[in-house]
Structure 1
Amino acid sequence: MVQNGTPLPAKLPGPPLSDRDAIADACYRAFASIDQSNEELLQSAVTPDVYTDIAFKVCNGYDELRNKVWTHVNENVDTVHYLTNMRVSVDTETTARVSYAAQAVHCVLGKGYEADSPKFITGAFYNCDAVKVDDLWKLKTMKSTHVWCTGDHSIMKPPNAQ
């Protein structure tokens, strides 16, 4: 796993973020948790009952997301995720929706900087629902529509998978 310095904490110091920025930050925390191998960021970014449908893999609840996706990626794949074109709709004081585009680069753990190492790159659109829990926005649902991919898809398969 590549550790790029010390990740920033879930609650950032300084002046409070606006609701729109705080909701976007929940999305950034979710993907930074993978890129920086930091489970605290994942816990801060999603609700315990989070529902995800990402890259054709459905997970119901935090434990399933952690066990089926996050742990596998953390132990076998280095990633960099880029989120852009983010749009946030604050619907009530405690509920919101957010959409964005994402590109993800995946490589075999510890091999990414090798010039000839295989990569798997994806492009997707995300639609998420967010809720405010105490004073922190978290994602309650995350759904992706993957549009394209290129590279070696086998990088994403768990070891010993058929």
Structure 2
Amino acid sequence: MHGTPLPSKLAGPPLSDREAVADACFRAFASIDHAEESLLKSSCTADIYTDIASKVCNGYDELKTKVWENVATKLDTVHYLTNMRVSVDTPTTARGYDPESGKFTTGAIYNCDAVKEDDDVWKLKTMKSSHVWGEGDPSIMAGH
């Protein structure tokens, strides 16, 4: 864990649907950077489907064990989410369109779908990445 745990719910007035969908994305990636599973759980549906860096996961448990545990607990990461656009389709669905140094930096475009669950919280339903560039030693991601 990296310091004080981040809250799953924010204080203050309720977020708009558009802000809440973006927050689900921020929580998902912050869960990796802060090794905070409560953020991951709060941001994903139980049946989430992901295809990240050609690693497909069906369901939360598979995402957690195949990807999250290996990356969040074994690597130092920083995810910057920028240029986010959110389309709220219905009241409950939304869509979003140096090698020796031991470092690997990559740029990717993520396409995510979200749903509002019974607890009135937006959660990610699918995530798919298209990696557009990488720099450094990609072998450090082997097994992650």
- Work out whether the TM-score is over 0.5: yes
Choose which of 85, 88, 93 in structure 2 pairs with 1:87.
Answer: 85
Query: Are the equivalent residues in 2 in contact too, given 1:77–1:155 (CA < 8 A)?
Result: no
What does 1:10-89 align with in structure 2 at a 5 Å threshold?
10-89=8-87
Give the 3-state SS of the residue equivalent to 2:104 in structure 1.
Answer: strand
State the SS of the aligned residue for 2:78: strand
- Report the CA distance between 1:148 and its aligned residue: 0.7
- Supply the distance in 2 between the matched residues of 1:7 and 1:81 (Cα, whole angstroms): 17
Which has the higher mean CA deviation after the structures are superposed, 67-76 or 48-57? 67-76
Q: State the secondary structure of the residue aligned to 2:105.
A: strand
Aligned to 2:126, the other structure's residue is in SS state: strand
Pairwise CA distance, 1:118:
1.8
Higher helix share: 2
SS of the residue aligned with 1:85?
A: coil
Q: Percent identity?
A: 72
Q: How far off its partner does 1:20 sit?
A: 0.5
Q: Which runs of 5+ in 1 are unaligned?
A: 100-115
What is the aligned residue count?
141
Answer yes or no: is 1:121 the counterpart of 2:119.
no
Q: CA RMSD in A?
A: 1.4
Deviations 1:54-92 (A, max 9, x none): 111100000100000001112321100001000000000
Contact 2:31–2:72 (CA under 8 A) maintained in structure 1: no
Q: Is residue 37–residue 74 contact of structure 1 (8 Å, CA) maintained in 2? A: yes
1 or 2, which has the higher strand percentage?
Answer: 1
TM-score with structure 2 setting the length: 0.93
Residue by residue, what CA displacement relative to the aligned partner does 1:83-108 show, whole Å, maximum 9, x if unpaired?
10000000000000013xxxxxxxxx
Letter paired with 1:125: I
TM-score, normalised via structure 1 length: 0.83
* Cα displacement string for residues 128-156 of structure 1 (whole angstroms, at most 9, x for unaligned residues): 11000121100000011111111111211
Answering whether residue 6 of structure 2 is matched by residue 8 of structure 1, we say yes
Q: Using the alignment, how far apart are the partners of 1:12 and 1:74 within structure 2?
A: 22
Name the residue aligned to 1:151: 136
Counterpart CA distance in 2 for 1:39 and 1:86 is 23
AA aligned opposite 2:94: A
The Cα shift of 1:7 comes to 3.5
Aligned to 1:130: 114
TM superposition outliers: structure 1 runs of 4+ over 6 Å? none
